Structure 1
């Protein structure tokens, strides 16, 4: 076997490979005994479990991560109109076995609460049972040598132009912001913090040599119990905006890359100062994950044969991220909340949370369908000042149309968040709420197909030739591929096009085709 007369050009193509896509469950169990300085439990308003990922690492073929689960219980005491809050933070360490190995892995961990049950054992004791599911997705980069051109030995090549990520860089950083917040003069002093929430509003991502600069605002909301100057138990909300700017070192990055930056809150603790000055200390933890890509184009060989000798080719399946389209859309969901314990006198706070968000491709509609559920919540008081908590779920669906003339497979990785939640009282016992959902993330177009990674011409196995004639007649059907015809008769596609005065590599109509033979 001799392949010395065949010259090959190769290119190293980078492909994204999924090395983990799995979920695991963590049981959350707590036998909670109230501290002595807490009042007795008469009725639980709401028990919430909030899981957050604190850190993660890959070592020895395992993905390990630390998760914090915050348990918060709102309750009232008998003959007392104050809303009390007790909370407990529990820490867990979990791990996944990775399915293979690849370079520069990117880790996405998404925790969610499956359910929570809170049972009052007695006036001083709670039995809390729940479960949290953590979905892990780890992708990495693999490089494959691909044949892009070949010369000699009568080789014929079928090529296709592809766009692929010539370089892929990842980075992750944990940011801790500690700021002092000040209540407005019109607000009553903080008694007990009942609820906190944080929403990230990205402002700018800028890439310079070796660094990524990310800026944004963290919108922080706080609901707290307090006492008015008249001695009345009530609750107040406050909103703060914390701007942030961070520099993340990423070797090799510059302004020729496009970056997908995701910033996730991993904890928001607000502690009132003891001097009763209306000053609060806020510790905000943010997790920043970045995937940066530089796209390039080249021609790759998808099929080959020789007009003179038998050939051997090694093939591999390709799936190249050719293009990413940023998603920017919105959706509104409404719900009605009815009070069964009298009239709604006032609403202290209203909010909404997302759950069970999934996406699927609807080929008939040529769109992705994003679906899920919005849980609407209200904390307020009835006509005699007793605290009340109302909750209701509303399902939703939203369509993301697929762009026209897309060449390749499409996948979607949406990011949804509640932008705001508003309400109005429809009557004495009913509140109508509206949640605006912001839809971000990206749609990725992948070029898929078979590529040739190795090509050999077997010069000791020449093809049989017939010197008695130079042409053959072939009867073809409409849309037949001239490449397949040329390959069948071991001739060149160029010779067939010239002989039949054709310009397209597909047969336009049924008829006769002249096949020049390579003798």
Structure 2
């Protein structure tokens, strides 16, 4: 006879693949005929855009472009710029990836450099840092006794329960930021743009109904050569933005993780647009990606017996990831970037963290990354130069068993640069962001059948057993061994339900009737 069970279904998005890796892209590029020959490379910086992301059977493909901006000095010492677009196609193979899986991805530059092969040809290299994850729809089914279950079968149930945070939706939206900026009166008109850099920061994520509101700030950094010559000028602008995106579930009591990745960026500063050379137009296309998590309380049957009948049971095993709260460790970094000669003035500084590596030692998880620091400066004799240095940064967090860690690093504070006797002293903060998920293994009873045609012969068992409660015993194990029930033992011994007896206490164990 089947013992009635209720079925509860938990639907979620399961991660079948996650990875963070760098992709080195190199190319040889000819300096355009409209530009003079190059004498030396001054600085190289890259801006990376995502073009597409797709999951296929057995692999995930990320396609994008790295626009590498090379500032160089020509034979007459004038500062010039050329931009080289390097397309990339990163394919990662994994047997768990299936076609149609939902893919999230972010891309950015980890480092970039260039060198002259001859006055008209450059060898350009860019390390692209890619974070990618693939998700598929999954479900688990857990069962508990039904309200109308037959109590005459004397089925005793042991359950376990766990709080879980499950990913319930993966959504995305494309949007555009169009903005026009005017140079402050204190800044000289633009002669030639040397470098453009656009960054975004998500500052708030709120939900209303089935919509999520993303708020943040876009920041533009413009380095240019003034129209009438002189030292390069750095100009900073910012725009506050807000975007509403729909998600596939109701947003009440959800937790969100959102990210932005550029798909294309355009800058206009030419004379046709700005006759006075004081206006800059920006059009930036972004992909917003949002993960929605819901807290669930799950309970399931772990063991079962009957005091009257032999039982046949079926079991089902599940493995799933339960997300946890994110934590941050912020490390202050100081160092000196050595320069060729004594610097006279710092023009700009950039700091690019690389991949974060994990190393488990004892009760600690060590996190390490390497940041690429590049300083653009003017020497005492008025020459534009740059200096770079790779600096290791590390931190540590407590290690937990059965935990899965997703880690990343970003520059949290505005980098500072001060001229020193040894070069340029830099100071900045690197935030290690750690998302700690729990790998849950669930073995649950999903079927109970009682052999009612052949009841147990309880007459051979004593009505009462007196037994000492020793280490390793539980009320459940003793009740199961002597055909009793936890409730009966608690009642006979004055034990509060839900608690265990004191060690070495003597228990009266009555038999189920």
TM-score in same-fold range (> 0.5): yes
Provide the residue aligned with 1:387 in structure 2.
Answer: 384
Distance 2:367 2:93 in 1: 30
* 1:111-510 to 2 correspondences below 5 Å: 111=107, 118-128=114-124, 132=128, 134-150=130-146, 151-152=149-150, 153-165=153-165, 168-227=168-227, 229=228, 231-232=229-230, 234-274=231-271, 275-307=275-307, 308-319=309-320, 321=322, 324-327=324-327, 330-339=330-339, 341-359=340-358, 364-365=363-364, 368-400=365-397, 409-418=402-411, 419-427=413-421, 429-440=422-433, 442-444=435-437, 448-459=441-452, 462-467=455-460, 469-503=462-496, 505-510=499-504
Residues 317/485 of structure 1: CA separation in 2 closer, same or farther (3 Å cut): farther
Alpha-carbon contact 2:354-2:409 (below 8 Å) kept: no
Q: How far apart in 1 are the matches of 2:118 and 2:289? A: 45
Distance 2:136 2:450 in 1: 34
Note the C-alpha offset of 1:103: 12
Contact 1:479 1:509 in 2 (8 A): no
Residue of structure 1 in register with 2:71 after alignment: 74
**2:84 is the counterpart of 1:85:** no
1:273 touches 1:281 (CA, 8 Å); kept in 2?
no
The alignment partner of 1:420 has SS state of coil
Q: Distance in 2 between matches of 1:186 and 1:167?
A: 50
TM-score (norm 2): 0.86
Shift of 1:421: 0.3
Query: In structure 2, do the counterparts of structure 1 residues 450 and 507 end up closer, same or farther at CA, with 3 Å as the change threshold?
Result: farther
What's the RMSD between the two structures over aligned residues?
3.3
The CA deviation at 1:348 is: 1.0
Query: Secondary structure at 1:38's aligned position in 2?
Result: coil
Distance 1:379 1:15 in 2: 48
CA distance in 1, matches of 2:474, 2:128: 55
Q: Is the 8 A contact 1:162 1:447 kept in 2?
A: no
- Give the CA deviation at 1:420: 0.9
Distance change >3 Å, CA 155–CA 163, structure 1 → 2:
same
Whether 1:515 and 2:500 are equivalent positions in the alignment is no
Q: CA deviation at 1:488?
A: 3.1
Mapped contact 1:335–1:392 kept (Cα < 8 A): no
Conservation of the 8 A alpha-carbon contact between 1:305 and 1:487: yes
Cα distance, 1:431–1:46 mapped onto 2, change above 3 Å: same
1:95-128 residue CA offsets vs partner (Å, 9 max, x unmatched): 5566457999553324466776644221111233
Q: How many residue pairs are counted as aligned between the two chains?
A: 503
Asked if the contact 1:200/1:265 (under 8 Å) is kept, the reply is no
SS of 1:108 mapped into structure 2: strand
Deviation at 1:241, TM superposition (A): 0.8
The whole-number CA distance in structure 1 between the counterparts of 2:431 and 2:262 is: 17
- Evaluate the alpha carbon distance shift between residue 222 and residue 256 of structure 1 in structure 2; reply closer, same or farther with a 3 A threshold: same
Structure 1: gaps spanning 5 or more residues? none
**Residues 326 and 440 of structure 1 are in contact (CA less than 8 Å); yes or no, is this contact kept in structure 2?**
yes
- Counterparts in 2 of 1:94 and 1:331: CA distance versus 1, 3 Å: closer
Q: Normalising by structure 1, report the TM-score.
A: 0.85
Correspondent of 1:52 among 28, 49, 53: 49
